[in-house]
Structure 1
């Protein structure tokens, strides 16, 4: 073997191990950090969405209870007032008491069935005697049922929502409604309920009405704004609660949870800027990186020591492997050897692997061949059938058997019997094509597989082989005959094993019908069992 100049290989195994290990450690570190970042991002986003959804649901439930409480108060006062609608003094006293004993709303008015305001508190509103003409304000007259109006601008010029409750006299006739005014830009229970929450991470709440306008927002200037373009608000307008990542109407990416207030069809949205969540994640990953770097450096130092330890025995192995070469020149795949020890191993293993490959091929061929006839044995047959089945190659099957072969062995001995078998194998080769697969399946039994040959043509081939055999002189044994059975896969049966059995049955049918003949299996489309 030619001498290898080590000076040309600046990269030896020790250096290679160090370089590869360093790259692997760094790649693993990057992959771990990246995977951790992605997982933590998904977890934090998911947790934030779930927290906001739960919080929005809680606020929606509390708001719903608040509105139901206001409607119950209105119902109770309405039942007291309805029988005294002709007494302005009693009306004003009742309305004043309602306003002073609760901070649930900022104003309260009483409207008769004709839409005229007949009572109002505080009296400074100056709306008594006016008639409602605004479509939103007159909706309780049409509904005649508990109803929440708004947001709308009241006759006094306040942006508000108004829970209303109808009044009916003792005969069941609609007598008007009583309405509470909750100023959207005022200091009231609803505003404090929505403004005071436990989040200190830039999470904020906003509430939309059934028309998609803001009822509550931490920025008072935005109250009353139409936000129907917001994806979350669109879901709420369809009465759907849940959570999602969304870009709001201000172009800011948000993690939003949202829930519906059943009594009023308001939507409560709790949202947190995605940037805030990601900033927490970045701080976490920086901390992880700081704790990981020292261990990584230590690991690389250990790899350097192990690299030196690993390289020395491998170099010796490369030297020893030269002894397996015997100089045979057969094909061997090229293996790039860019470092010294690998070059030695490549040149030493080249001839060894080639020799081993040739021996394995020879042993494999011998395993698949019948030693007497050099036809394929059952192992070779099964390999070919497996390949043909996987490739869906159609083929005819000829099963053949020597008639009265036991008599040949008994009369002339097994040596003559072996000669008969060998000569019949030669006749089979003579009557077959190169691509046909010929097998000795056992004793005096043989199988021929004819790819892409239909059953009729296979019958002609079988008949020719039968006649040729009958006319041939088999030395001491004289003349012999054979019986043959034919089937086809998949025409006789799509089941490969069944197709083989059909050929075997046809062979035995030929024997039963007098031997020295050919019998065909019936095609499957002719209802062959």
Structure 2
């Protein structure tokens, strides 16, 4: 009677094939998940740094607006009865740097004495808007919340009081920003969005949108957004959030210190992860021929296998463990079929482990510049600190990089960052590590190096950049700060702080220079 039980060769075929495919899927999936986590972390950190820089720029801009208005208040306080001088001053303020859409001077009762442009027909009228009343009542420099002005426009009112030399309140001088028309925010922030759905927006302290690349969103209340809740409470950070359209976004946010406003820079999660999908597809495509050949070999050999294959099948089921690859090599191949199958499995599993290593390598590299990313840099510094390895860090930042993005676009800006990374690698010595710290900030790690040696490396890089035409069509410059462990600091945080202080000093003293930090030891 013919047996219906599985034959050994069929059982071995099934086990070998199942183990092979499970190993392939598990290896690729594990590497893919690691790559996704790395991309998320990098994108969140990039957006956080970017939002922080924009918030700092906006804060400086608003402080400058107060200074300009304050200067004008001092100029006109003795000439409040001279209509021509007042008209000249409001016109100058509006046209000088395009900071305000309109400028107005009133007396202490809110009567408009002068307005620019003159087409706004409110001269001789008393301002009754929310912002004007608040400014007249408080008699201090203020930035109003968004409101609808007498002209029907949605505006923000930035004002400064005018006092006489005897400290008598004479009135105010104020500039307005029209939120739904071309304004200073658009000039300041630029077109910070791209066709892939990335964009920047600004909210006031109440969670009301005051700048957005879509004008129809201005004045919307978005307090239900978790990122808005965090930034309006004065926090800086980054997180995954779902916007009002149901799109998942990788958002970085930072508060504007002087106003309580918040700047949010975000990128769609799907767009950020697109390169990872492409890499997986590429790996699969490249793996198919070898997998196909390996499967044919497995099937051909399994049909002629006896006892030795039981050991091979058992080891293949646990093929994710690298020790099992060595176990396969130790299986006796005393006849041709067993020998061929053993070698085919060893080659296939080694290839798959190679793919896992590939994905692991990808998670340590900054995807834009191809140099070491922030997370790997932090791990390396922690290891050096634990092992008491003396080292120096060079913290460097491109000078006026925002102007490169604003003038030539983000695509050219990305090429400039890649160009800088290549120049860093060209001056780095054996053992030095080039890293991207975030945005346009980079770090070179120099183990077992003196401050003098590190200074030579930094100066060589600085001179090379200043003398070489970059992708934007002109040379670019950098400023750098240097700090050494353990000479200047006992912790990584203090070491980076010392280098950052030196970098700030280099920026303050005119940029395009290298400064050595001071000790942060307590």
Deviation (angstroms), 1:265: 1.8
1:25-49 residue CA offsets vs partner (Å, 9 max, x unmatched): 1111111222223222222222222
Q: Is 1:262 equivalent to 2:257 in the alignment? A: yes
1:309-360 residue CA offsets vs partner (Å, 9 max, x unmatched): 7625579xxxxxxxxxxxxxxxxxxxxxxxxxxxxxxxxxxxxxxxxxxxxx
Q: Is 1:164 equivalent to 2:159 in the alignment? A: yes
Given candidates 233, 238, 241, the residue that maps to 1:238 is: 233
Task: Specify which structure has the bigger relative contact order, considering alpha-carbon pairs within 8 angstroms and separated by 6 or more residues.
Answer: 2
CA distance in 2, matches of 1:228, 1:313: 67
CA distance in 1, matches of 2:11, 2:291: 18
CA distance in 1, matches of 2:93, 2:291: 72
- In structure 2, stretches of 5+ residues that fail to align are 311-522
Change (3 A) 1:309 1:237: same
Given candidates 141, 149, 165, the residue that maps to 1:146 is: 141
Secondary structure, in 3 states, of the residue corresponding to 1:207?
strand
Deviation (angstroms), 1:85: 1.5
Change (3 A) 1:10 1:127: same
Secondary structure, in 3 states, of the residue corresponding to 1:19?
helix
Match runs of 1:199-218 below 5 Å? 199-218=194-213
Match runs of 1:404-443 below 5 Å? none
CA distance in 2, matches of 1:15, 1:220: 67
CA distance in 2, matches of 1:198, 1:134: 33
Partner of 2:94: 99
Q: Is 1:77 equivalent to 2:72 in the alignment? A: yes
Judge conservation of contact 1:95–1:120 (CA < 8 Å) in 2.
Answer: yes
Deviation (angstroms), 1:290: 0.9
Deviation (angstroms), 1:24: 0.9
Match runs of 1:303-318 below 5 Å? 303-304=298-299, 307=302, 311-312=306-307
Deviation (angstroms), 1:14: 3.5
Deviation (angstroms), 1:200: 4.9
Partner of 1:409: none
How large is the Cα RMSD of the aligned pairs? 2.4
Match runs of 1:73-472 below 5 Å? 73-197=68-192, 199-304=194-299, 307=302, 311-312=306-307
CA distance in 2, matches of 1:294, 1:96: 73
Partner of 1:30: 25
* TM-score, normalised relative to structure 1: 0.55
CA distance in 1, matches of 2:169, 2:98: 28
Deviation (angstroms), 1:9: 6.4
Given candidates 36, 40, 49, the residue that maps to 1:54 is: 49
Judge conservation of contact 2:179–2:218 (CA < 8 Å) in 1.
Answer: yes
Change (3 A) 1:33 1:218: same
Judge conservation of contact 1:113–1:176 (CA < 8 Å) in 2.
Answer: yes
Q: Look at both structures and tell me which one has the larger radius of gyration over its CA atoms.
A: 1
* TM-score, normalised relative to structure 2: 0.55
Q: Which moved more, 1:104-113 or 1:13-22?
A: 13-22
Judge conservation of contact 1:195–1:205 (CA < 8 Å) in 2.
Answer: no
CA distance in 2, matches of 1:140, 1:49: 39
CA distance in 2, matches of 1:137, 1:288: 63
Secondary structure, in 3 states, of the residue corresponding to 1:16?
helix
